[in-house]
Homo-oligomer: A and B are copies of this chain.
Amino acid sequence: MKKHNYSAGPCILPQEVFEKSAQAILNFDGIDLSLLEISHRSKEFVAVMEEARALVLELLGLEGKGYQALFLHGGASLEFLMVPYNLMAANGKAAYLDTGTWASGAIKEAKHFGETIIVASSKPENYNHIPKNYTIPADANYFHCTSNNTIFGTQMKSFPQTNIPVVCDMSSDIFSRSLDFSKFDLIYAGAQKNMGPAGTTLVVVKEEILGKTNRYIPSMLDYQQHIDKESMYNTPPVFPIYASLLTLQWLKKLGGIPAIEKINEAKANLLYTEIDRNPLFSGTAAKEDRSNMNATFVLNNESHTETFDKLWKAAGISGLTGHRSVGGYRASMYNALPLESVQVLVDVMKDLENKI
């Protein structure tokens, strides 16, 4: 039976990414060797890396604007550390917006580097909304925010104006919607949502913001070193990068971000309309901040849990259980999830209503 994969990440990727990457493991590009057994400095893999880095900038509309794309190790969690190492001056300070678990994780690491100002936080309301109307100190070295909060199902619909560098963790919504990406100075994203499998992290950085901290930066954590080595300071995570390239190629063929944005809006509208219509369910995030990637909702009457869980599992849906820190349900609708899968979920919700 066809599965409808709502996993919050690692998550569904396009079927052609699975097929092409499996083929590359058996015989890469017809060279009679596996992708896994060739040197990362072979001309074949260097071409993969170059195309992936260029395609990121092309899809984000950042070509020729002073940005560099890097595919690094470590996950977004390592970026929590690399950002202050590279951007917070030795006696400087940084400003953070606290919108959820991952924002909070980034703040925790920054605090060890210097003054870390939390400009606003929705923690007292269990992160059910995005704070607004806060002030960003003009003398901070940078402002850090998280564009989408997978666990709580909220998403920043606009970004503050500021004259200091803006750093954004876009792990869970990059490549999903049109934004003026040139308003950001550093974007990072773990690959394992819209970009590829787990095991690599995308960093897109405006080169001119680097080199200003007067701080020693360990080699592996230094963006400039990675730029100078063309994202091959050390052996890169070859397979995750190749599968990411395939995913980016798929997105380009589809029509890029504007095309996927329409599909993502259709999916989100379909599901949120049902959550609001169906008397058995309630959404948990503030309506104006609802994420188009992760819809969080609960059953109004917990006694229906067993029935509902049986119904969606029987329909081939997987990965719908909410994060352990919030409970309820979470429907993650990343780029590769088809509208058809959302229709199946909506039908199950209607079915529950009819059965009760």
Contacts and interface: CB of A to CB of B under 8 A. Distances in A.
A174 B236 CA distance: 20
Contact of A22 (B25, B42, B192): B25
A271 interface: no
Question: Assembly of this chain: how many copies?
Answer: 2
Contact of A235 (B1, B42, B198): B198
Interface string A26-63: 10000011101111101000000000000000000000
A199 interface: yes
Contact of A40 (B10, B77, B105): B10
A37 B12 contact: yes
Interface stretch (A131-139, A217-225, A256-264, A275-283): A217-225
B3 A32 contact: yes
A220 B78 contact: yes
Contacts of A100: none
A233 interface: yes
A37 B19 contact: no
13 contacts: A10-B238, A11-B37, A12-B37, A22-B23, A73-B73, A75-B234, A78-B220, A81-B220, A192-B235, A192-B238, A198-B236, A237-B240, A239-B240
Interface of A: 1-3, 5, 7-13, 17-19, 21-23, 25-26, 32-34, 36-40, 42, 73-78, 80-81, 105, 108-109, 112, 190, 192, 197-200, 216, 218-221, 233-240, 243, 318-319
* 9 A-B pairs with least C-beta separation: A199-B237, A77-B234, A36-B197, A22-B25, A22-B22, A73-B74, A198-B238, A75-B234, A73-B73
